Structure 1
């Protein structure tokens, strides 16, 4: 998935810079208001001021725009990894790590219900979930492997995938429980992960 926050355009001519996160936020808001099927590249272009040609050069599909937030989440987690104490159980370490991947940005928080509604109702968007989350899962698997080198790669990947599912479930529940501005997604995720005993620790 091409999900860089700013992406240099490819091809001839002067490079352009695209704020992928801003485009994603605009697209999600438009899809919520007008429907995914009724909102194409032209409408997203009109809302963002980025030409349709540029949008289509940077993003392989409209559905890709829904998942732009996974990359910054992965980057937040990577930045937090060295700060997680080495002397705590792996389950607690993963709880800290994964909670750090969740943003408190109010703009993103406000779009939470719209995003999860789209994922549950639009097959084209939902179909990209596995590939969109691959970098996030790889980051968690790498973190597990560094702390538990005795575990086979397939096991670290399986545990990371389970934690991704738990994260998504927690965020879905948070988004569906009314006014998200009154709650904190990070706290919801932290509480969900506190109940996980996947590692038997």
Structure 2
């Protein structure tokens, strides 16, 4: 005798299927009220499959951006001591270039409906701190003083994250995140790397 098919989606273990199931549940019942078990049940996969792709429920939202930030941090760490603002901005533009709607964009656009406002603020702070530190280190290596380097790091990291947030909140048909990032960079006009 064969067992009845499981409810929900066909058995799959892809990152995209899990992310889609998680976002559906976050919209239906809120982030805090959604468990990993419910996500895996909706996706039709095991709990261990979830943890093959994500380290936590929060990671569903942030893993795509985290991978992009990691590449930018590696690029920043590999820059020579004579690095200039243009090279730094180019590395940061890589974070938003070709950014397609994903779980984070959906969460930013629907933060209230998903009950994610506090979660997004806290987790955004973690990404801001990581990116800010890498930018500030590149600035210090190029001879910029400690305080100015920290300010540059914070300003450019805020520009990246703000551009993505505004792009996601505006939704389909809005300016590309690259356009918004260039506008954000223009706001950092009084700092040494602005030229």
1:165 matched to 2:153: no
Answer with 112-121 or 168-177: which moved more.
112-121
CA positional deviation for 1:45: 0.9
Q: Secondary structure at the match of 2:69?
A: helix
Equivalent residues in 2 for 1:185-200 (5 A)?
185-200=177-192
| Correspondence for 1:72 | 67
* SS in structure 1 at match of 2:135: helix
Would the aligned equivalents of 1:141 and 1:157 in 2 still touch at CA under 8 Å?
yes
* DSSP 3-state at the match of 1:104: coil
Aligned to 1:44: 39
Structure number with bigger Rg: 2
Matches within 5 A, 1:139-150: 139-146=134-141, 148-150=142-144
Deviations 1:37-85 (A, max 9, x none): 3322122112444423554687664234322233212233246559999
| Aligned-pair Cα RMSD in Å | 3.8
Q: Quote the offset at 1:170 in angstroms.
A: 2.1
Q: Give the Cα separation in 2 of the matches to 1:94 and 1:198.
A: 16
- Which among 111, 121, 126 is matched to residue 118 of structure 1? 111
**Conservation of the 8 A alpha-carbon contact between 1:27 and 1:44:** yes
The runs of 5 or more residues in structure 1 that have no matched partner are: 1-17
The equivalent residue for 1:101 is 95
The gaps in structure 2 that reach 5 residues or longer are 1-12
How far residue 150 of structure 1 moved from its aligned partner, in angstroms, is 4.1
SS at 2:110's partner residue?
A: helix
How high is the TM-score relative to the length of structure 2? 0.67
In 2, distance between residues paired with 1:196 and 1:161?
10
Counterpart position of 1:31: 26
Deviates most, 96-105 or 81-90: 81-90
Superposed CA offset, 1:118-153 (max 9, x none): 28843234323322443322332233233x23422x
Structure 1 length-normalised TM? 0.65
